Amino acid sequence: WPEAWMLPTEVSDQCATNKQSPNVPVDVAALRKLGISYWKMDAEKFSYPVKEVPWDPKDAQDPKLKALRDDRGYSYADIITVHPDHLPGFDDKIKAFFEEHIHDAEEIRYILGGSGYFDVRNTQDEWIRIHVKKGDLMTLPEGIYHRFTCDCEKLCHAMRLFKGQPVWTPFNRPECDEHPSRKKYVTDFMATA
Ligand code: KMT
Ligand code: NI
């Protein structure tokens, strides 16, 4: 699993680690409880950059990825390179990725190279920062509040997977609070004991 920690209330540079002092680590059990799943993959199985959309044939080289895709129905895959020189409109997109939002489907990202931060809200509505790196395949459940940013290296080369035709539409907070996907998330993962 990737390293995760609590963010402070104020973040001035979104790309910085922003650990509290002392650092407050977040363990795997806590991430699992929020509905996050993780697989360690062998990113060397892919030659990159590979940017065709939709992207597919090379899966066969990695039986683990193929099995995961078959099991979970991840029929769609493409590759995004988040980098100032490779992603058109980098500044605007980074800004949009870092707006707190939900999706009406699972968000599935397999980091092929580089790294980045996924921030997710815990049940106390505090931010957890998750540092994903090459070989990390992580899923965020439908309806979880989250955002993404590059780290200081400003390169994140990632496979985006999806069940069926991809819909990446973000629903930003707070407008999304009444969204059925948010309500489902609250029911499934935030119900109090
Ligand atoms: C998202 O949904 O925030 C993204 O797709 C970010 C880029 S994938 C590492
Ligand atoms: Ni998202």
Report pLDDT for 143.
Answer: 98
**Which helix (H) or strand (E) segment is 80 a member of?**
strand 76-82
| Backbone phi, psi, residue 56, to 5° | -160, -55
The pLDDT tens digits along the chain (193 residues) read 999 999 999 999 999 999 999 999 999 999 999 999 999 999 987 755 445 444 555 556 788 998 999 999 999 988 899 999 989 999 999 999 999 999 999 999 999 999 999 999 999 999 999 999 999 999 999 999 999 999 999 999 999 999 999 999 999 999 999 999 999 999 999 986 4
What is the total residue count of the chain? 193
Look at the alpha carbons of 64, 77, 162, 90 in this order and tell me if their dihedral is positive or negative.
positive
100 marked among binding-site residues: no
- The one-letter code for the residue type at 165 is Q
DSSP letter, residue 86: T
- In Å, how far are 62, 65, 79, 111 from 46, measured between CA atoms? 8, 11, 11, 11
The answer to whether residues 39 and 68 touch, using CB atoms and an 8 Å cutoff, is yes
The predicted structure's pLDDT at residue 44: 83
Q: 107-121 and 136-140 as β-strands: parallel, antiparallel, unpaired?
A: antiparallel
Per-residue model confidence (pLDDT) at position 59: 59
CB atoms within 10 A of CB 158: 25
Separation CA 11–CA 19 (nearest Å): 10
The rounded distance, in Å, linking the Cα atoms of 165 and 26 is 33
* Contact predicate 1/31, CB 8 Å: yes
* 107 marked among binding-site residues: yes
Domain 3-7+16-189 sits in CATH 2.60.40.10: no
Taking the centre of ligand 2 as the mean of its atom positions, its distance from the CA of residue 107, in whole angstroms, is 6
Question: Which residues have a Cβ under 8 Å from the Cβ of 28 and sit 6 or more positions away?
Answer: 1, 38
- How confident is the model at residue 193, as a pLDDT? 47
Nearest-angstrom CA–CA distance, 110 and 134: 8
Q: Cβ < 6 Å from ligand 1: which residues?
A: 80, 82, 97, 107, 109, 116, 148, 156, 158
Does 131 carry a binding-site annotation?
no
CA-nearest residue, atom 1 of ligand 1: 97
